[in-house]
Amino acid sequence: MSSTLFRTKKVEQSILDTEEPEHALKKSLSALDLTVFGVGVIIGTGIFVLTGTVAKNNAGPAVALAFVVAGVVCALAALCYAEFASTVPVAGSAYTFSYASLGELPAWIIGWDLVLEFALGTAVVSVGWSGYIASLLDNAGWHLPEALGSRDGADGFGFDILAAALVLLLTCILVLGTKLSARVTSIVVAIKVTVVLTVIIAGAFFIKGDHYDPFIPKAQEVPAGDSLQSPLIQLMFGWAPSNFGVMGIFTAASVVFFAFIGFDVVATAAEETRNPQRDMPRGILGSLIICTTLYVAVSIVVTGMQKYTDLSVTAPLADAFKATGHPWFAGFISFGAAVGLTTVCMILLLGQTRVFFAMSRDGLLPTFFSHVHPRFKTPHRPTILLGVIIAIVAGFTPLSELAELVNIGTLFAFVVVAIGVIILRKSRPDLPRSFRTPWVPVVPILSVLASLWLMLNLPTETWLRFALWMVIGFLVYFLYGRGHSRLGQRKATTADNTE
């Protein structure tokens, strides 16, 4: 039985499957498109909120160093993703990589994990977008009925019509074609980056050197907790992180890390890239470098504009401009955040549909969803199904407590991909690799350790919810996926023919 659970799918077979006419996606993306996708999904509300919040609560002005640390952790994972995406240019990202290196059951687990990660991520981001748009409408004197507003804190029936409408609109765009999605993303990302650069340049004129003193504030111990809201590492070892000081930088890094979530979505578009061997590494690493630079610049500006102890935790950057006597920047920043979240939502939805499509093409999910549109060459069936489901979830469900599941899902994927690089190097040293992760196995091992450390700092409650989702995944695999696996059917046919 174990031999069937850990059967691997050859890289050559994965690539061969992408050439079947009814399952072939259109190759239309360039390195620039991939970089835009990466920047589009990474830069969201985090750059406008986390920078000031973490500065006030965890690191002071040294939050800039926390972004550097988080960027290094992501870079370790990005190097592993870049090798896999260029070597196995097939839709599915970590799912496909796992199938080629770890085996079918681990691949199913990571695919099931990614479906949850991207679905919740899309829903959470769409709800956040809805909040910004509703606020802008309120400022213009247009008020939505309470029953059609946000579900968080609502009494009785309520449906977040704006969040659901956004998901459905983006679903239509994705059905019409990935290149169209890239063009829309390029326009929106250009607006978003312009807003960020404007904030950095304008804010630089209001920096006061005294606000950086001390750059690394004196360390403060954090009392250990014993509830399900406490980090798992506290319940396991009684260890509590410290705020401020040198260790506070690492505490802050575990928080701001989540502002980087999304660059791995770029790998899901490998099959739709014209030259994946060259362009995937450029897109993944390029987007990460750009976003890390912007994050560090914003954190330096916001802590220089206002003393870190005076920063607000809800809208620190906007309120910092208010404190300098320029309140109109608050509306400008809200506009940038609302525009930016549109691309985050679309690219997460794109990533999820590609993972679902890849699992369907392998037979682990119904093959009905693995056929592409005859004209647009997009996986229209899973896109429509998942778009409608996520729109309903976003409309009816308050998702604030579930957002951390996105984080644990991403880190879990990082761990699997890093391990997969080591295994594939040993099992298939003959594979042509246009990009090679440097210093293997040191870099992948460091990536695993860094990701596990951040996972241990997540609340215990998040681990329990994640475990429940994994249990459901195991049931689906053993009741359906294992028996319908195309790889299993091929091997059974081969065995019959040799007898």
Asked if residues 404 and 255 have their Cβ atoms less than 8 Å apart, the reply is: no
| 153 φψ region: left (φ > 0), alpha (ψ -120 to 50), beta (else) | left
Q: What is the pLDDT of residues 381-416, one digit of tens each?
A: 999 999 999 999 888 876 555 666 777 888 898 999
pLDDT score for 394:
87
Q: What is the mean pLDDT of the chain?
A: 86
**Assigned token pair, 393:** 């979830």
CB atoms within 10 A of CB 464: 11
Residue with token string 């005859």: 374
Strands 220-221 and 242-243: antiparallel
Domain map (residue ranges) of the chain: 2-14+28-491
Cis peptide before 441 (omega within 30 of 0): yes
d(CA 463, CA 231): 9
d(CA 116, CA 470): 10
Distances (CA, A) of 218 to 69, 212, 249, 250, 309: 19, 13, 11, 14, 13
Q: With the CA atoms of 485, 119, 450 and 438 taken in that order, what torsion angle do they form, in degrees rounded to the nearest 10?
A: 60
For residue 375, the one-letter residue type is: R
Q: Name every residue whose Cβ is closer than 8 Å to that of residue 162 and which is 6 or more positions away in sequence.
A: 129, 130, 133, 134, 144, 148
Asked if residues 106 and 467 have their Cβ atoms less than 8 Å apart, the reply is: no
d(CA 107, CA 94): 8
Mean pLDDT along residues 130-137: 78
Q: What is the pLDDT of residues 419-474, one digit of tens each?
A: 999 999 999 999 889 899 999 999 999 999 999 988 888 888 889 989 999 999 99
Query: Bigger pLDDT: 264 or 62?
Result: 62
Phi, psi torsion values for 214, nearest 5 degrees: -85, 145
Class of domain 2-14+28-491: mainly alpha
Question: Quick one: how many helices (H) and strands (E) in the chain?
Answer: 20, 2
Is pLDDT of 120 > 80?
Answer: yes
User: Which residues is 231 bridged to in the sheet?
Assistant: 459
pLDDT score for 384:
96
CB atoms within 10 A of CB 274: 12
pLDDT score for 224:
62
* pTM, full prediction: 0.86
**Which of 3-12, 275-284, 482-491 is predicted least confidently?**
3-12
pLDDT score for 491:
81
d(CA 32, CA 29): 8
Name the 3-class secondary structure at 104: helix
Query: Bigger pLDDT: 208 or 241?
Result: 208
Name the residue among 337, 328, 360, 277 with its Cα closest to residue 83: 277
Is pLDDT of 76 > 90?
Answer: yes
pLDDT score for 399:
58
